């Protein structure tokens, strides 16, 4: 059963990469206050994720913030070192909080995991985005196929 509009996001410890190295943060601390946009990708450094999905949020950062978004976060079932390196590679800076769900615990708690074993990826996150207000899912955008029509920043801007 996957998370739905009106549900509170599960509180799971995940990681982010800071100047001090990998740091644990709870999903409630990262996403539970104000308006947050969380988008998830199947893998850091993968083509669609690197060429389109993450860049859409970096490019639209100011527009999202102007509509009241206080946190923009990218989630992937990767380790914090990979997420930190990917953020640096993509020149994310402070525009997007890079969240590492290394064991997939948060993704599984959301019910949004996918099996990418056929591609050598193992269990990963489905591509999705959600608008969260004070820890409650207000909108959920799931990709049913390849691409970022539902979960890209442009669609989120239209929904805010």
Is residue 5 one of the residues assigned to a domain? no
Q: Is 74 a catalytic residue?
A: no
Scan for tokens 């994310």, then name that residue: 92
pLDDT for position 133: 98
DSSP 23-73: EEEEHHHHHSSSEEEEEEES-TT-HHIIIIIHHHHHHTHHHHHHTTEEEEE
Is residue 115 one of the residues assigned to a domain? yes
CATH code, domain carrying 97: 3.40.30.10
Is residue 89 one of the residues assigned to a domain? yes
Number of domains within the chain:
1
Is residue 143 one of the residues assigned to a domain? yes
pLDDT for position 132: 98
Chunk the chain into consecutive blocks of 10 residues (it has 160) and report each block's average pLDDT, rounded to whole numbers: 94 95 96 97 87 94 97 97 96 96 96 87 90 98 90 96
Is residue 32 one of the residues assigned to a domain? yes
Of 31, 35, 49, 74, the active-site residue reads 49
Is residue 6 one of the residues assigned to a domain? no
Distance of CA 112 to the CA centre of its chain: 12
Is residue 105 one of the residues assigned to a domain? yes
Is residue 7 one of the residues assigned to a domain? no
Residue 121: give the domain boundaries.
13-159
Nearest residue to 153 (alpha-carbon basis) of 69, 45, 43, 27: 69
- Which letter, b or e, does each residue of 63-98 get, where b requires 16 or more Cβ atoms within 10 Å of its Cβ? ebeeeebebbbbbbbbbbebbbbbbeebebeebbbb
Q: What is the pLDDT of residues 9-47, one digit of tens each?
A: 999 999 999 989 999 999 999 999 999 999 999 989 988
pLDDT for position 155: 96
pLDDT for position 23: 96
pTM for the model: 0.95
pLDDT for position 145: 84
């Amino acid at each position: 059963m996957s998370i739905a509009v009106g549900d509170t996001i599960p509180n799971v410890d995940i990681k982010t990469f800071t100047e001090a190295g990998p740091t644990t943060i709870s999903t409630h601390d990262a996403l539970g206050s104000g308006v947050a946009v969380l988008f998830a990708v199947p893998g850091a450094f993968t083509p669609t994720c690197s060429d389109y999905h993450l860049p859409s949020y970096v490019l639209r950062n100011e527009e999202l913030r102007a509509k009241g978004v206080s946190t923009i976060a990218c989630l992937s079932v990767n380790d914090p070192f990979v997420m930190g390196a990917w953020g640096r590679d993509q020149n994310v800076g402070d525009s997007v909080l890079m969240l590492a769900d290394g064991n997939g615990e948060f993704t599984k708690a959301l019910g949004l995991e996918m099996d990418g074993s056929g591609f050598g990826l193992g269990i990963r996150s489905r591509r999705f985005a959600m608008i969260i207000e004070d820890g409650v899912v207000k909108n959920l955008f799931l990709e049913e196929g390849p691409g970022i029509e539902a979960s890209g920043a442009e669609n989120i801007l239209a929904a805010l």
